[in-house]
Structure 1
């Protein structure tokens, strides 16, 4: 449903007025085409006042030009460097000087999701609007001009095994070069790309020297799955590896279920929570800090936190916490790499919420322009997007920095927005630390140091 444009603009105007109070740094980058996925790549350079890092984006076009996978270079200003008045001065219709396109890959079909390989984040996997998945070495891939009629770039590897379109569920294993996927065929599919990854950098550029621009994607090398897992009754929307095991993973889907799998014991569910939510489950994330905790986000607008030691009761999901702070379907959840109790969630309501489990049950102020009494655990609400926030990622190389993308077609008439931002540290640092700093500041103002 199309949002009321006046209410969207009023909310956005209010948010802009609060930027100097809520953010340590923010870059706003207008996208000609919406991006359905954003992921951080390797850090390239550390300077005195900023760092430079790769960022992977997609361009979801209307068919007049090809869909692309974009590799950008981002400059990230370090904490306490940007002036408050500077970060709030940007033009929504302009591209940010902090984000520069480095390379374009002409993608065979839409780019619905991007995931980087933890062992080598120059290697990425992409989901498209077909049963196949693609593996790309973004450093050796040639830069292409995405003009009308341009033939797709040739992927380094094609992963086959799905029987129907697999569009969103995608995960890369933290401990082994494994890829996990789910699709409309209700399957969860696992590949090992061990042997192929080892030779990508060595042979990738050589094999391309003899390839013509009109080589089709299907002519690239391909591999079949290591194993196929069956247990869902509807489309698999998201998958996630256990952070400490290449054999354990989980999946969620439109059947409202959360399934835990263990490849060591077979291709049927190890544990199945039939009713994890009352609606479709769109996203899942497994805590890198404590492997007992799993987050799920749903079309029912809630985020559930499960403890895998006690997942269900009477066939119904038994979350240890329910987080209710969105007004529309939740599209993405992710644990914060810096603090084990913090996570983010983004939704079709245009908000990216930051939660702290430790604050549940405690009175707290929220960095939110919307709520005087925020939902339990919510302590920051990023309201810089004017339509659904389809993806975001914490930056593990730059603590507390987040990249988020929105599809703005429903509210602003087209395109999308990329924002790279970091809330002020007074919002997430320990209270005693903040109070000590405030006391010190007060003493300096009054001419004494306590």
Structure 2
């Protein structure tokens, strides 16, 4: 009975959300997937035009075994701000595929793709995690386009990063400052690699499309040994992240409820260990690219916590700057906005993707929103377009308020889940002064028009 009631409340929330789409969104593309996807990431922009830009999108396809698992490179037409009409935004069908998303290339992946990360220095190069101890590196532009048919041999990765003693399935990051890769796994270890020398050799090969060998593989598959192995967790490491301004400093979170900061220059033991960062397993972590003191963590205790690395603990227990309570189920993914230092998103098993601004906390208590206790402090937008757990999302750094999100709601949509690309209307996130100024311009324009008639 409870499940039916829960399903009904999800459907009610979704129906209400759908009716508000033309009001809340500047653009929305809804794409029904054939197979579930566990990871979605923006790649490079490949073309700019007047009304839209073309950009690569990386997606995983987790199949049932009737065809191989794949890493998909798609082309997305990203409609520019204030171009899409409201009636166009509202006209989508949950069971159809979006004309804005088109497959460009398919790589047959050895095993399912649990996590994808692109290299900031060259976003044609991506790392993937599968159910194995290795991290796989792909030069996606040079990989051969393959047909995912039953029995097809997997594509060969360009590099294989070794060093884990057990499966490393989710924790994966690439450094913004140098071509360094970071991973965590079931062996409770955090492993660091430099792929600097290999990337330069991949770049020299990039003029020529590698032809697959007799077994249909491409890439040279050479292995890279770990630069460092870091021990300090007591359970599976679920997520890792680099300090945005140093490839030698990074953090990790795990099923031991710990947040650990590391510094490769001082050895392989934790620099700082927060013993009880949350009241349950930690699933995700992100380090603020615009304010390197702030770190976000998300947990199975349904909360997001913001830590200041200058003051992480109090008596050995985590001492967060703020606890964000806006989800009713485990938080799976957190990410800071590239556009504004105080803004971040959090996605959870409750099917909601929340957008927060920690800069609003405290200020809004005396404002108009104070009496509306339905919304926790700092929450300013709820994306409720998914009807089951939102497994991944990614802000678009080329178009900073545009987000791609993916969910496991295949049973409800008759497909393999839902991919959505969306951008809220700018009136929601712009400052009050800017909005008032714009409305004044609009008012004076109306007066001019009526005067001239």
Give the TM-score normalised by structure 1: 0.95
Aligned pairs for 1:432-447 (under 5 A) are 432-446=433-447
Which digits, 9 at most, give the CA deviation of each residue in 1:65-99, with x for residues without a partner?
A: 11100000000111111111110101111110000
1:195 aligns with 2:200: no
Is contact 2:143–2:209 with CA below 8 Å preserved after alignment? no
Task: Provide the rounded CA distance (Å) in 1 between the counterparts of 2:49 and 2:449.
Answer: 35
Is contact 1:2–1:410 with CA below 8 Å preserved after alignment? no
Task: Provide the rounded CA distance (Å) in 2 between the counterparts of 1:126 and 1:424.
Answer: 33
Q: Tell me the secondary structure at the aligned position of residue 338 of structure 1.
A: coil
Which digits, 9 at most, give the CA deviation of each residue in 1:254-287, with x for residues without a partner?
A: 0000000000000000000000000100000000
Q: Tell me the secondary structure at the aligned position of residue 335 of structure 2.
A: strand
1:87 aligns with 2:50: no
Is contact 1:65–1:147 with CA below 8 Å preserved after alignment? yes
- Residues 1:309 and 1:82: Cα distance change in structure 2 (over 3 Å): same
Report which stretch shifted further, 201-210 or 83-92: 201-210
The ranges of structure 1 where at least 4 consecutive aligned residues each deviate by more than 6 angstroms after the TM superposition are 204-207
Task: Provide the rounded CA distance (Å) in 2 between the counterparts of 1:380 and 1:112.
Answer: 28
Residue 209 of structure 1 and its aligned partner are, at CA, apart by 3.2
Q: Tell me the secondary structure at the aligned position of residue 125 of structure 1.
A: strand
Task: Provide the rounded CA distance (Å) in 2 between the counterparts of 1:86 and 1:365.
Answer: 32
Residue 448 of structure 1 and its aligned partner are, at CA, apart by 9.0
Is contact 2:171–2:185 with CA below 8 Å preserved after alignment? yes
Q: Tell me the secondary structure at the aligned position of residue 400 of structure 1.
A: coil
Which digits, 9 at most, give the CA deviation of each residue in 1:162-188, with x for residues without a partner?
A: 111100000001111110000000000
Is contact 1:140–1:201 with CA below 8 Å preserved after alignment? no
Residue 2 of structure 1 and its aligned partner are, at CA, apart by 6.1
Task: Provide the rounded CA distance (Å) in 2 between the counterparts of 1:358 and 1:419.
Answer: 27
What are structure 2's unaligned runs of at least 5 residues?
none
2:157 aligned residue: 155
Task: Provide the rounded CA distance (Å) in 1 between the counterparts of 2:127 and 2:32.
Answer: 25
Q: Tell me the secondary structure at the aligned position of residue 339 of structure 1.
A: coil
Task: Provide the rounded CA distance (Å) in 1 between the counterparts of 2:245 and 2:267.
Answer: 19
- Residues 1:445 and 1:186: Cα distance change in structure 2 (over 3 Å): same
2:398 aligned residue: 397
Residue 350 of structure 1 and its aligned partner are, at CA, apart by 0.3
Aligned pairs for 1:70-109 (under 5 A) are 70-109=72-111
Q: Tell me the secondary structure at the aligned position of residue 125 of structure 2.
A: strand
Residue 204 of structure 1 and its aligned partner are, at CA, apart by 6.4
Is contact 2:345–2:354 with CA below 8 Å preserved after alignment? yes
Which digits, 9 at most, give the CA deviation of each residue in 1:98-133, with x for residues without a partner?
A: 000000000000100000001100000000011111
Is contact 1:5–1:411 with CA below 8 Å preserved after alignment? no
Residue 8 of structure 1 and its aligned partner are, at CA, apart by 2.0
Task: Provide the rounded CA distance (Å) in 2 between the counterparts of 1:141 and 1:447.
Answer: 58
Residue 372 of structure 1 and its aligned partner are, at CA, apart by 6.6
Q: Tell me the secondary structure at the aligned position of residue 421 of structure 1.
A: strand
1:312 aligned residue: 313
Residue 220 of structure 1 and its aligned partner are, at CA, apart by 2.0
Residue 444 of structure 1 and its aligned partner are, at CA, apart by 3.7
1:282 aligned residue: 283
Aligned pairs for 1:25-424 (under 5 A) are 25-203=27-205, 208-209=210-211, 211-213=213-215, 220-361=221-362, 362-363=364-365, 373-409=374-410, 411-412=412-413, 415-424=416-425
Task: Provide the rounded CA distance (Å) in 2 between the counterparts of 1:391 and 1:209.
Answer: 33
Q: CA RMSD in A?
A: 2.0
Is contact 2:278–2:299 with CA below 8 Å preserved after alignment? yes
Task: Provide the rounded CA distance (Å) in 2 between the counterparts of 1:137 and 1:207.
Answer: 11
Task: Provide the rounded CA distance (Å) in 2 between the counterparts of 1:86 and 1:419.
Answer: 15
Q: Tell me the secondary structure at the aligned position of residue 150 of structure 2.
A: coil
Report which stretch shifted further, 430-439 or 200-209: 200-209
Aligned length: 444
Task: Provide the rounded CA distance (Å) in 1 between the counterparts of 2:3 and 2:194.
Answer: 42
What are structure 1's unaligned runs of at least 5 residues?
none
- Residues 1:113 and 1:446: Cα distance change in structure 2 (over 3 Å): same
Task: Provide the rounded CA distance (Å) in 1 between the counterparts of 2:271 and 2:120.
Answer: 26
- Residues 1:97 and 1:210: Cα distance change in structure 2 (over 3 Å): closer
Which digits, 9 at most, give the CA deviation of each residue in 1:336-377, with x for residues without a partner?
A: 1111110000000000000001111215678xxxx8731000
Task: Provide the rounded CA distance (Å) in 2 between the counterparts of 1:13 and 1:310.
Answer: 43
Residue 215 of structure 1 and its aligned partner are, at CA, apart by 5.1
Report which stretch shifted further, 205-214 or 81-90: 205-214
